[in-house]
Amino acid sequence: MKMQAKVSKLLAVKYGTVMIAVSTVVLVSGNFLPTATQMVLADSIQDQINSLTQQNSSTANVVNGLQAQATSYQNAISVLQQQISGMQASIVSNQAKQTSIQQQIVQAQAQIVQEKAILADDITTMYVDGTPSTLEILATSKNLSDFVDKQEYRTSVQNKLQDTLNQIAQLQEQLQTEKSQVDQLISEEQSQQTQLANAQSQQASLLNYDQAQQASYNAQISANSSQIASLEVEQAAENAKLGSGLVASGTCGGEYPNQTPSPAGGSWGCDEPQDNTLDNWGMYNRECVSYTAFKVAQTYGYMPYWGGSGNAIEWIGDAQAAGITTSHTPKVHSVAIWNVGPDGHAMWVEAVNPDGSIFVSQYNYSYNGTYSEMTVSAAQAATFTYLYFN
């Protein structure tokens, strides 16, 4: 269950510093035996994939933030539009009121002209023979009562006309005051509407800028995703090479090789001492992860190279970084990771029983680097994390 250190440590001991400057991969026909450089190349590709995946994750977070910000801008634009619409409705209402007042002013002016004309007619009628004096009225009256009636009528007509003129003038003045107030209100509302329109324009500009940023970040994510896809193809080829060099002189438990050349030098397998060297995927010999790496490669034709960062408990994060699905549901021919001890333990799922228990094969369960099999209860199996390499 004890896992290995970084592959670079062992390579430094075996070969000194390994210099890598690989830009293209040359495929050689015939039998191919992976080299230490090939192992590090596979690890380097995974590092690039992880880096690009992390960039995409960070960029996606930025895009999510920009989308939330864009929503805020859009909400502000909607609120401003509602205010502009409300202001416009108020302006239209006040303009209608303004028109009505203006019509009333025109009517009042026409009425003043009409009343003045009536007054002129009455005065003309009263003074057909000129403007009579009091004595003249008295002289032409039949009696004193007739004189008083004429005088009162004259005064009454004058007072009535004057009152009418005064009322119309007051109405006209009042209407002019109301019109001035409405004119000022309309002017203020139009100014506020202009301010709201400017604010709306600013929010729209920010929204457009925000959306342009989102498009730029999404383009970056798309470019990274394309690069990741290309790297994964290259990585798959390198991983296939790592497994293609297995030339075993025999097999032991779980078909694990008894002896096969190691890219790091020497041989690995069940006939070799435990932890004597690395297998083709950077796992120490006869450890649980070396066995599960072998089973993955044997079953699916490839096994990701995680560069010696392969303690069983680390496989979960490594698998997720490589886009490999993980869950707590067991499946046949998946790798089960048990979070036990400081390093965890890796097992190969051979069967899933109807009652939820699982049958597994494994290496180094008893810390002696040997093969074993066992059935794990459903309750215990439910606590494992399963990696689906298919």
Tell me, letter by letter, the H, E, C secondary structure of 168-223.
HHHHHHHHHHHHHHHHHHHHHHHHHHHHHHHHHHHHHHHHHHHHHHHHHHHHHHHH
pLDDT of residue 42: 64
* 247/259 Cα distance (integer angstroms): 8
pTM: 0.51
pLDDT in tens, 68-91: 888 988 898 889 888 889 888 988
* 281/299 Cα distance (integer angstroms): 15
* 213/219 Cα distance (integer angstroms): 10
Report the sign of the C-alpha dihedral through residues 33, 38, 40, 45, in that order.
negative
Report the relative pairing of strands 385-388 and 371-376 from DSSP bridges.
unpaired
pLDDT in tens, 234-263: 766 766 666 555 655 567 899 999 999 888
**What structural domains does the chain harbor?**
7-33+245-388 (3.90.1720.10), 65-239 (1.10.287)
Average pLDDT of 172-181? 85
CB 254 within 8 A of CB 269: no
**Encoding tokens for residue 352?**
């899933």
- How far is CA 276 from its chain centroid? 50
What Cα–Cα distance (Å) separates residue 200 from each residue in 22, 78, 92? Answer: 55, 9, 21
Most confident region among 16-20, 306-310, 337-341 by mean pLDDT:
337-341
Query: What pLDDT band is residue 34 in, cutting at 50, 70 and 90?
Result: low
